[in-house]
C-alpha cells in the first residue's frame, strides 16, 4: 500500500482499512507519508467523512503512536473529564478535587488557551510555582496520595495529533467530526483511563456553535470511546453565555476558590455537579444520578474538596498562600466598568464576544507562541435573565494595557443585549449521551 | 484573503474569485501558499470541481506566472497541436513540417514520456545532436526561416505547473478535468500562439480511458481556450490500439520518415491529416475541412514536408544523415517475433499493454529521472481487423536487455486477441469540438 493509494481511496469516498489508517499515522511519524500527502488526505476525510470503524481505528493508531500511561499500579477507578472548550469554563479545576475526594483517580492532562476559549493550564499559571510537568513516577505518586494530578501535554503522548492539528489548522480541515473525535480521544486515552466524561459545548461560545454538529460530535465521541473499550459519557452543555461570572485566568481561579468554599453562581454549579455526577457513575462509585450528585455536593459542602485542592496544589509545588489569600493572585492595575445604557432584562451575554474581549486584554492567545497576562479579564455582574437598571454595572474589565481597552469595551457593548420584557436563561444541560 | 480562507471556500463547494486564484498561484511561487496548503486545495478542487470561469482564471494565472513567448515579430498565424498522450503517437513530428509547409508558424513545446505513453522529446533524442533547448532569439529565427521549432519545456515557462503536477502526482489528484485543463493550456498558451488543436485520446491507451471523461475534457479545453481568447479545437481520437505500426523512439522516427516520403499506415494518415486540417483551418489558411486536408496531403505528396523536416532538423543541429539513411538510427541488438497462436482476425491490440511492454524494454520511464533506450520498441505487423494465420508474425520486439524480454512477450501475448470472425477496426475520429 502507498500513500497515494490511501488518499485516492478516501478521495473516492471509500472506507479505509485499519491497516491503511495505521500506515497513514505511522508514515506521518516515520516520513513515508509527507505533510502534503497528509493534508490532501485530511481534506478528503473532511469532505468524504469516516465511518465509525474508521474513526475508532484512527483514534487507536493516534493513541498508540506515542506512550500510553500505565496506571495499573494505582488502585481505584481512573476517570477524567474533557471539554471541547468554552468561555469562563473552569470546571476542570473543580472536578479534579471533587472527584478525587469521592474516590476517583483523575490523571488530568490539560491544555492551553487558543482562539476565544480558555485553557486550564493558563489558569494554573496564575498560581506561582505550580509544576505542570511532573515525571511519570511523580504522576503515580500524586495520584496515589491525592487522587488527582493536573498536567500539560508532553511530546511523547499522542505525537501524531500535534502534527495533524498544525496541518488541519493551516488547511481549513479543523471542523471535521471524525478528525476532532480522534484528536480529543487519542490524547485523553493516552492517560490510561477507564472512563471519560465529555463536555461538548454548544452555542455562540463553543468551538462548533451549531447544536446539530455538537450532537453529532457527542455521538461520535461516545461511540468511538466505547469502540476502544472506554466507558464514555458525553454531556452537551450550553455555551451561549460564559460559564460563571469570571473570564480570565486569575479571576477564574479566584471563582474556583469561592466555589470550593461554598459560594458560587448557579450555572457553574449546575454544569460542575452534572459532570461530577457522571464521573462518579462511570467510576461506579454511585449507582444513581441522584446519589452521585449528592456525593459530589457533599464533597464541596464538607470542605473536603477545598482541602484536597490545597493539598494537590501544594504537592505540585504551587504556592498555596495565593489560594488562602486570593488578594495575592495576579491582579490587573486597572478596573473599568461597563454600565447598562437602559433598563430591562439581559437577553444576551454573547460568549464568543466576551471571550474575544478577554483575549484582546491579553488573557488568551491567537497563536500558540503568544504570551498571556494571567491578571486581566472580565467579571460579569449580570447574566442572561437578570433584571438591570440603567447605569447599573454589567461587567468589570480588569486591564493592564490601555491600548486594548477601547476595542474591548466596544466588543463587550455588543456582547450584552437588554430587552424590555423578562428573559429566560438558556438551558444548560442539553443532553446526556451514554456509550 | 488568506490561504486557509481560500481552501475553506473551495472545501465548501463555492467558486473561487479570480483574485483568490491569483493569490493561490502567486503564493505557491512566492511562498505564502505552502505545499501542504496547495495539496489540500487540490483535493478540494478534485472533489468539488471548478466552474468554467474558475478554470479560465486558473489557466490564465498559471500561464502568467512565468514567461510568455512574444511571437508578435513573426509574420503568419501561430498555431500548435497538443495531444493528451498515446501509444505510437508520433503525429507531432509530422504536423510540424506539414503545417509549416502550408504557412503555419508552429512553436512546438513538447515533453518527455511518462507512464505507458511516449514523448516527442524522447523520439527526437534518437537523432544525434538535435538541440531541443534553443534560446529565444534562436526560436524566433527558426520560426522565421523554417516555420517550425521543436523544443523542450523550460523552467521559465508556466513554472507553477511543474510544482502543481508534482503535488498532484503524489496526492492522487491528477485526474481532475479543471486541473488537467489548466495544466495543458497554461504551458501551451505560454508559447504565444493564436490557435491550438487538441488531440484528446480515448480508449485503453489514453491517459483517461473513459470516453465520457474524454468528451468532458475536450469541452473544458475548448471552452477554456476560448475564454482566454485562443482559437481552439479539440479532436477526440481513439487510442484503443497504438497509432501506426511503430512503438518506441527510433522506430517511430523511422515510421515518420517513411510517412513523409509517402509510405504510411492508414490510421496514422487519418489522424495526422485530421489534425493538420484543423490546424490549417484555425490558422485561416483554408476555408473548408476538405481543402485543408488536400493542402496537408499535398505538402506530403509533393515531398515539401519531407524536405522541410530535413531543414528543421539540420537547423536545430540534428544529424540529418540518420534521416536520409535510417539504417543509421539507434538500433536494438536483437529482434524477436511474436507469432499468432491461431488463425482468425485480430480483435484487440491493447494500446496500454503495448505501451507498458515497450516501457519494460526500456523505451519509456516510470519516474522522470529514469534513462531511456531510444533503440528498443515494438513494431506491429498486425492491427485490429487484420486477418491472421496461425504462426504468422503479430509483432516484432526490438530489444537490448534479455532480462526484460520474458515479461514483455507475456504482456504482448495478452495485448493481442484473435477471434474467428471478421472484426471492424475501431473508429478513429470520434468527435471534433470547436470553441
Residue A172 backbone phi and psi in degrees, to 5: 65, 35
How high is the pLDDT of residue A154? 85
Among A208-212, A259-263, B357-361, name the one with the lowest average pLDDT.
Answer: A208-212
d(CA B420, CA A287): 81
pLDDT at B199: 98
Length of chain B equals 435
Q: What is the pLDDT of residue B5?
A: 95
Report which DSSP code applies to B153. -
Per-residue pLDDT, B209: 83
The residue-averaged pLDDT of A250-258 equals 98
Helix (H, G, I), strand (E, B) or coil at A164: helix
Partner residue opposite B170 with nearest CB, options A36, A169, A173:
A36
Cα three-residue angle B140-B145-B150, rounded to 5 degrees: 60
- Mean pLDDT (chain A) is 95
- Residue indicated by cell numbers 510540424: B96
Rounded to a whole number of angstroms, the distance from the CA of A54 to the nearest CA of chain B is: 20
Least confident of A96-100, A135-139, B94-98, B267-271: A135-139
Give the list of residues 6+ apart from residue A425 with CB closer than 8 angstroms, or none: A267, A383, A384, A385
pLDDT of residue A295: 98
Taking an 8 Å cut-off on Cβ atoms, the answer to whether B40 and A35 are in contact is no
pLDDT at B343: 97
E strand or H helix at A108: strand A106-110
Binary contact (B171, A47; C-beta < 8 A):
no
From residue B324, alpha-carbon distances to A87, B258, B261 in Å are: 83, 11, 11
Note whether B170 contacts A48, CB cutoff 8 Å.
no
Give the per-residue pLDDT at B99.
Answer: 98
Query: B156-176: string of b/e by CB count within 10 Å (b at 16+)?
Result: ebbbbbebbbebbebbbbbbb
More confident residue, A404 or A88: A88
With a cut of 90, say whether residue B371 has pLDDT above it. Answer: no
Our CA-based measurement puts residue A130 at a distance from the nearest CA of chain B, in whole angstroms, of 37
Kindly state the cell numbers that stand for A137. Answer: 513516577
Can you tell me the mean pLDDT for A146-160? 92
The per-residue pLDDT for range B109-163, each reduced to its tens digit, is 988 777 778 789 999 999 999 999 999 999 999 999 999 999 998 888 899 998 9
Predicted confidence (pLDDT) per residue in B242-255, tens digit: 999 999 999 999 99
Among the partner-chain residues A34, A40, A170, the one whose CB lies closest to the CB of B43 is A40
Confidence check: pLDDT of A367 > 90: no
Residues on chain B touching A46 (C-beta within 8 angstroms): 11
Residue B396 has pLDDT above 80, yes or no: yes
Per-residue model confidence (pLDDT) at position A251: 98
**Chain A: nearest CA to B2, how far in angstroms?**
10
pLDDT digits (tens, 9 = 90+) for A298-308: 999 999 999 99
- ipTM value, please give it: 0.86
Q: Give every CB contact of residue A428 below 8 A, 6+ residues apart in sequence.
A: A237, A238, A267, A270, A271, A274
How many angstroms separate the CA of residue B34 from the nearest CA in chain A?
9
pLDDT digits (tens, 9 = 90+) for A30-72: 999 999 999 999 999 999 999 999 999 999 999 999 999 999 9
Separation CA A81–CA A238 (nearest Å): 17
Which residues of B lie closer than 8 Å to A, measured between beta carbons? 3-5, 7-8, 11, 34-44, 46-48, 167, 169-173
Averaged pLDDT for residues A337-360: 96
Interface test with B, best of A41, A115, A172, A367 (most B CBs within 10 A): A172
Chain A interface, mutation test: which of B40, B165, B170, B175, most A Cβ atoms within 10 Å? B40
Is residue B187 flagged as an active site residue?
A: yes
Mean of pLDDT values over A339-365? 95
Q: Which pLDDT does position B117 carry in this prediction?
A: 80
Which residue is closest to A12 within chain B, CA to CA?
Answer: B47
* pLDDT, position B314: 97
* B92: pLDDT strictly greater than 90: yes
Among the listed residues B309, B314, B316, the one whose alpha carbon sits nearest the alpha carbon of residue B138: B316
Say whether A172 sits in a helix, a strand or coil: coil
Residues of B in contact with A34 (CB under 8 A): 170
Q: Tell me, what's the pLDDT at A222? A: 98
Optimal mutation site among B10, B35, B36, B46, interface A, most CBs of chain A within 10 A: B36
Q: Which residues of A lie inside 8 Å of B (Cβ-Cβ)?
A: 3-5, 7-8, 11, 34-44, 46-48, 167, 169-173
d(CA A210, CA A202): 6
The residue annotated as part of the active site, out of B89, B161, B240, B373, is: B161
A128 pLDDT more than 90: yes
Q: CB-side exposure of B330: number of CA atoms within 13 Å?
A: 23
Q: What is the mean pLDDT of chain B?
A: 95
Residues from chain A that touch B48, judged by Cβ atoms under 8 A, are: 47
pLDDT (0 to 100) of residue B184: 95
Instruction: Specify the pLDDT at position B256.
Output: 98
Q: Pick left, alpha or beta for residue B342 (phi over 0 → left; psi -120 to 50 → alpha; otherwise beta).
A: beta
B296: pLDDT strictly greater than 80: yes
pLDDT tens-digit series, residues B257-273: 999 999 999 999 999 99
Residue range B361-368: mean pLDDT, rounded: 82
The alpha-carbon gap from B174 to the nearest alpha carbon of chain A, in Å, equals 10
* DSSP, res B323: H
Does the beta-carbon distance from B11 to A40 stay under 8 Å? no
Q: Is the dihedral of CA B314, B318, B322, B326 positive or negative?
A: negative
* A chain contacts of residue B3, beta-carbon cutoff 8 Å: 170
How far is it, in rounded angstroms, from Cα A189 to Cα A62?
10
Q: Which residues of A touch B44 (CB under 8 A)?
A: 43, 47
CB A310 within 8 A of CB A320: yes
Chain B residue with minimal CA distance to A173? B8
Angle, alpha carbons A303-A269-A216 (nearest 5°): 135
Q: Among candidates B221, B348, B269, which has minimal Cα distance to B90?
A: B269
Give me the active site residues of A, please: 82, 161, 168, 183, 187
pLDDT band at A369 (very low <50, low <70, confident <90, very high): confident
| Residue from A9, A171, A174, A179 whose CB has the most chain B CBs within 10 Å, to mutate | A171
- Measured in angstroms, the CA of B44 and the nearest CA of chain A are apart by 7
Count contacts between A and B (CB, < 8 Å): 82
Using a CB-CB distance cutoff of 8 angstroms, which residues of chain B are in contact with residue A169?
4
Report whether pLDDT(A91) > 80: yes
pLDDT tens-place string over residues A297-338? 999 999 999 999 999 999 999 999 999 999 999 999 999 999
- Strand, helix or coil at B27? helix
pLDDT at B230 over 90: yes
Contact list in B for residue A49 (CB cut-off 8 A) is: none
DSSP B247-307: ESHHHHHHHHHHHHTT---HHHHHHHHHHHHHHHHHTTS-SSHHHHHHHHHHHHHTSHHHH
Q: What confidence tier does A258 reach under pLDDT thresholds 50, 70, 90?
A: very high
Q: Which H or E element spans position B227? A: helix B211-227
3-state SS class at B189: helix
Best of A1, A7, A40, A367 to substitute, by most chain B Cβ atoms within 10 angstroms, is: A40
Which pLDDT does position A140 carry in this prediction? 96
User: Is B73 an annotated catalytic residue?
Assistant: no
Q: B46: which chain A residues are within 8 Å (Cβ-Cβ)?
A: 11
Contact A192, A78 (CB under 8 A): yes
| Cβ–Cβ gap A11/B43 under 8 Å | yes
What distance in Å separates the CA atoms of residue A319 and residue A313, rounded to the nearest whole number? 7
Q: Which of B126, B183, B186, B204 is catalytic?
A: B183
Across A151-160, B187-196, B313-322, least confident range:
A151-160
Average pLDDT of span A208-235 = 95
Q: Is B314 exposed, middle or buried (0-12, 13-18, 19+ CB in 10 A)?
A: middle
Amino acid at each position: 500500500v502507498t500513500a497515494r493509494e490511501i488518499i485516492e481511496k478516501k478521495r473516492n469516498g471509500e472506507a479505509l482499512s485499519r491497516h491503511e489508517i495505521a500506515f497513514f499515522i505511522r508514515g506521518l511519524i516515520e516520513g513515508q507519508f509527507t505533510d502534503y500527502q497528509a493534508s490532501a488526505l485530511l481534506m478528503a476525510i473532511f469532505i468524504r467523512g469516516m465511518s465509525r470503524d474508521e474513526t475508532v481505528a484512527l483514534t487507536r493508531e493516534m493513541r498508540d503512536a506515542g506512550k500510553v500511561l500505565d496506571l495499573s499500579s494505582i488502585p481505584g477507578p481512573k476517570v477524567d473529564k474533557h471539554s471541547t472548550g468554552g468561555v469562563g469554563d473552569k470546571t476542570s479545576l473543580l472536578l479534579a478535587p471533587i472527584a478525587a475526594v469521592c474516590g476517583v483517580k483523575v490523571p488530568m492532562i490539560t491544555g492551553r488557551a487558543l482562539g476565544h476559549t480558555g485553557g486550564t493550564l493558563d489558569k494554573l499559571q496564575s498560581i506561582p510555582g505550580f509544576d505542570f510537568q511532573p515525571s511519570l513516577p511523580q504522576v503515580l505518586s500524586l495520584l496515589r496520595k491525592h487522587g488527582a494530578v493536573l498536567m500539560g501535554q508532553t511530546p511523547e503522548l499522542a505525537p501524531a495529533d500535534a502534527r495533524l492539528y498544525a496541518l488541519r489548522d493551516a488547511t481549513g480541515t479543523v471542523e471535521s467530526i471524525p478528525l476532532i473525535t480522534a484528536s480529543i480521544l487519542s490524547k485523553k486515552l493516552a492517560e490510561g483511563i477507564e472512563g471519560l466524561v465529555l463536555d461538548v459545548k454548544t452555542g455562540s461560545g463553543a468551538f462548533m456553535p451549531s447544536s446539530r454538529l455538537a450532537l453529532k460530535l457527542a455521538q461520535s465521541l461516545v461511540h468511538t470511546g466505547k469502540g476502544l473499550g472506554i466507558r464514555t459519557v458525553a454531556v452537551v452543555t450550553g455555551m451561549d453565555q460564559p460559564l460563571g461570572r469570571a473570564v480570565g485566568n486569575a479571576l477564574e481561579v479566584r471563582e474556583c476558590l469561592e466555589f470550593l468554599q461554598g459560594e458560587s453562581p448557579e450555572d457553574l454549579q449546575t454544569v460542575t455537579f452534572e459532570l461530577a455526577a457522571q464521573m462518579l457513575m462511570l467510576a461506579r462509585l454511585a449507582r444513581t444520578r441522584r446519589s452521585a450528585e449528592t456525593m459530589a455536593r457533599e464533597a464541596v459542602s464538607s470542605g473536603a474538596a477545598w482541602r484536597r485542592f490545597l493539598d494537590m496544589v501544594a504537592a505540585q509545588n504551587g504556592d498555596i498562600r495565593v489560594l488562602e489569600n486570593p488578594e495575592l493572585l495576579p491582579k490587573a492595575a486597572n478596573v473599568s466598568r461597563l454600565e447598562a445604557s437602559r433598563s430591562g432584562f439581559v437577553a444576551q451575554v454573547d460568549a464568543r464576544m466576551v471571550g474575544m474581549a478577554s483575549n484582546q486584554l491579553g488573557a488568551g492567545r491567537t497563536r500558540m507562541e503568544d504570551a498571556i497576562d494571567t491578571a486581566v479579564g472580565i467579571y460579569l455582574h449580570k447574566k442572561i435573565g437578570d433584571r438591570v437598571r440603567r447605569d447599573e454595572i454589567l461587567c468589570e474589565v480588569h486591564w493592564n494595557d490601555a491600548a486594548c481597552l477601547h476595542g474591548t469595551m466596544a466588543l463587550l457593548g455588543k456582547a450584552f443585549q437588554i430587552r424590555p420584557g423578562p428573559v429566560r436563561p438558556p438551558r444548560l444541560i442539553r443532553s446526556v449521551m451514554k456509550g
